[in-house]
Structure 1
């Protein structure tokens, strides 16, 4: 059942119950009040009958007959009337035997049998479709007990009650119809934002990630729509990120397979040549050298892949790193290779400290310098600088090599991405160095920026924090 129908039926049911119960008790209370007045008047009539009979007995000459005969004889002379109505009564003795009655129908002895010396009583009788109030009281004559009863026609009270109930039913029907129309319009108005939100949710579930709910109010439903829009935005962002991650993973696997296939093909080919053909000493050396170079390339690829896996799985222990120690270690490792290649290496740094893991930082610098070496070629220049400031320490590696385009810079840290594939493979690269650098920078909570121009060179700047950070 729809929420609007639940609200509609709930309000209608609650209103009907409240109105019905309230109306019933109101009519019943009015009826009971009128009945009490009728009972009081009946008791008053009883008292008048009894007083009149007592006065008649008091003024009548004494007789030798029994009190029963006296009461029976005098009762017939009593007449009590009001405009348009004549009051009827009967008298019974102590054995509930009727001594006198001018009633037109027989009444039961139930009331008089329940009376004691101090009380009066009444009951409601129904005769031939009409209602009568039977009231009774007890009196004595010469120590003899007698019962006086009179009957009033109270059918008008019941007729009035029935008329009120009928009128109330008509009013209730009109009220329910009017209220139903009003509540139907109200529930449709109140649930309209929910229908809009439901439509947006169904569209979102069907794949329309751009859909958002219209906010039509500032109440709880409006807040719910705002929360949905916020959730939809975050989900859209997460799904896009997942799609990008899946695409990158697919590209990673394709590139990985390709990078493995190329050296393996060369190794198998040259090994088969060595095995199946008679070669000269120089040819055998050349083939073995190709196998050695491709093997070294596979080794480099596997080591960098292992580093990426370890960085994702292993907890890194950070500590304070002195800039002088890092620069001296890096300079000692790279200078021989760069000098052999005819590349000028300019290393300068300021004293300072920052938070990090020394071995990872060394790997970061070596990969960036090696990447610069592949870009500059012979007679190139690489500058390795360090600057301290109040917030931390900045490393900068700059070369005067080929440089990169805007597209290359946006993807350069992706695994297996190479701006110049032929030259990178010739230099033994697999496109994992900068991906490894990006992961190391992320683990340190640092920031890495690339500035590059084609044919002019590339500058990489990394800013480290001086002390430990919760984000690192």
Structure 2
């Protein structure tokens, strides 16, 4: 059963029960108030009737005017019965002095005996409501003394109209309740469908996403708990899509890495095998042999360099780095010594200037980072080009910037140059002895130090690489 249907049935049932209980209580209270009022009035009249009867009886006993007393009592009874009441007087043995016509009714003696039986010895008054002559009657019985005995003086009043009015009210309220449930149920159904509409839309979006429509989102939601749920759902969907894209990208990068690694191994191995076979099967001159030996040696060194860089990249993935204070002056001196012959070989105008400071990190990794950045810059510039390595102490941390006026990087390629084996110009990179791993190492080293890498490049104008080591890793 749908939530909207559950809400509809539950609310309609609650509405019906609430109004039914309220209606019964209201009708019962109204009926009880009228009934109590009639009982109070009948009680007053009964006691007045008893008082007049006792006064007349005393007069007859004192003055012997029995005939006048009888006429007085008859007059009182006539006036009472004109208002729809019946009066009766019996002795303690049940003999009727007045109201003999009531005694003719089959059930009256039993009713009277029942009410009298409820009276205790010290009680002088009792009343009861009984079914009598196909209706409801209120019976009042007063007990008085007469000489050595006592008598019962009573009055009965019909309440059938009051009970009929109660039943009429109940029937009308029952019809009103049915109408209320039908009309109210219709409104509740419409409202429940409206309130659960956002939930249905959210479920539809969830099904679409499960079927592959990853860009589907829940929109036009109310600003309530359901809207907050939809917003959280959209955020979750965005993150799931991002994670899926990241996994797809990572899988593609791994595939590209494997293909590139196989290609990088294939070329030097093919050359080594070819030259070795030529040395073994062909008579070569000494100069040709030296050339073949040199080529085999150079390709072997290239494979050795490739394996070292791969091992370095893998080792950084697996081990934790121990941070120690590293002097930027010491880094500057070692870089100048290492890069001086490299700059001279291509007649590059190189400048290395690191402002005095201390970076918390690993000295060898930081030196490898800066050397790789400079090595990439050397490969990018033409002969006679310009390279600047500058370190600055800023409020945010320590910034290292590498600037060159080389050939630059196409904008669409910038985000990929930190992938292993990725090269913008593969033929030139291999000619320069590169394998496309340098920037992947740089990115990993920067990440281990909590730094941020930023690359800005323009094709044909040059490249600016900035590395910012934050306050947390700088002192």
TM-score tier (shorter): 0.7 to 0.9
- For 1:387-466, list aligned pairs within 5 A: 387-391=391-395, 392-399=397-404, 402-444=407-449, 445-454=451-460, 458-465=462-469
* CA displacement at 1:416 relative to structure 2: 0.7
> Per-residue deviation at 1:160?
0.9
2:356 alignment counterpart: 352
Is 2:143 the partner of 1:112? Answer: no
1:366-407 deviation line (CA, Å, top 9, x unaligned)? 222333444457x55563432434335444445565544444
Does the Cα contact within 8 Å between 2:410 and 2:457 map onto a contact in 1? no
The Cα of 1:5 is off from its aligned counterpart by 2.5
Which consecutive residues of structure 1, in runs of 5 or more, have no partner in the other structure?
Answer: 64-70
- For the 8 Å contact 1:405–1:452, the answer to whether it is kept is yes
- Tell me the equivalent position of 1:237: 242
Question: Cα RMSD between the aligned structures?
Answer: 3.6
Q: Does 2:201 match 1:196?
A: yes
1:57-68 equivalent positions in 2, closer than 5 A? 57-60=57-60
User: Does residue 22 in structure 1 map to residue 27 in structure 2?
Assistant: no
Question: Normalized against structure 2, the TM-score is what?
Answer: 0.82
Identify if the C-alpha distance between structure 1 residues 405 and 152 changes in structure 2 by more than 3 Å, giving closer, same or farther. Answer: closer
Q: Is the 8 A contact 1:376 1:401 kept in 2?
A: yes
- Distance (Å, rounded) in 1 between the aligned partners of 2:440 and 2:15: 70
Partner of 1:131: 136
Q: Indicate conservation of the 8 Å contact 2:387/2:405, yes or no.
A: no
Give the aligned partner of residue 151 of structure 2.
Answer: 146
Tell me, in whole angstroms, the C-alpha distance in 1 between the residues paired with 2:32 and 2:300.
110
Q: CA–CA distance in 2 between the matches of 1:300 and 1:10?
A: 75
Cα deviation code 1:51-88 (max 9, x no counterpart): 3432343233589xxxxxxx99x999973434363513
Shift of 1:267: 4.8
Alpha-carbon distance in structure 2 between the residues aligned to 1:376 and 1:355: 29
Q: CA 1:204 to 1:90, structure 2 compared with 1: closer, same or farther past 3 Å?
A: farther
Q: Does the 8 Å contact 2:332/2:354 carry over to 1?
A: no
1:246 corresponds to: 251
- Could you tell me how far 1:418 is from its partner in structure 2? 1.6
Aligned counterparts of 1:228 and 1:257: Cα–Cα separation in 2: 43
Please report how far the alpha carbon of residue 464 of structure 1 lies from its aligned counterpart in structure 2 after TM superposition: 3.1
Alpha-carbon spacing, 1:261–1:139, altered in 2? closer, same or farther (3 Å): farther
TM-score computed with the length of structure 1 as normaliser: 0.83
Q: Which deviates further from its counterpart, 147-156 or 80-89?
A: 80-89
CA 204–251 in structure 1, closer or farther in 2 if over 3 Å, else same: same
Matches within 5 A, 1:248-263: 248-263=253-268
C-alpha change, 1:154 and 1:269, in structure 2 (3 Å) is same
Residue 38 of structure 2 aligns to a residue in which SS? helix
Structure with more of its chain in helix, by fraction: 2
The whole-number CA distance in structure 1 between the counterparts of 2:295 and 2:48 is 141
Superposed displacement of residue 270, structure 1: 5.4
> Which runs of 5 or more structure 2 residues have no equivalent in the other structure?
64-68
Tell me if structure 2 keeps the 8 A contact 1:344–1:382: yes
Q: Secondary structure at the match of 1:215?
A: coil
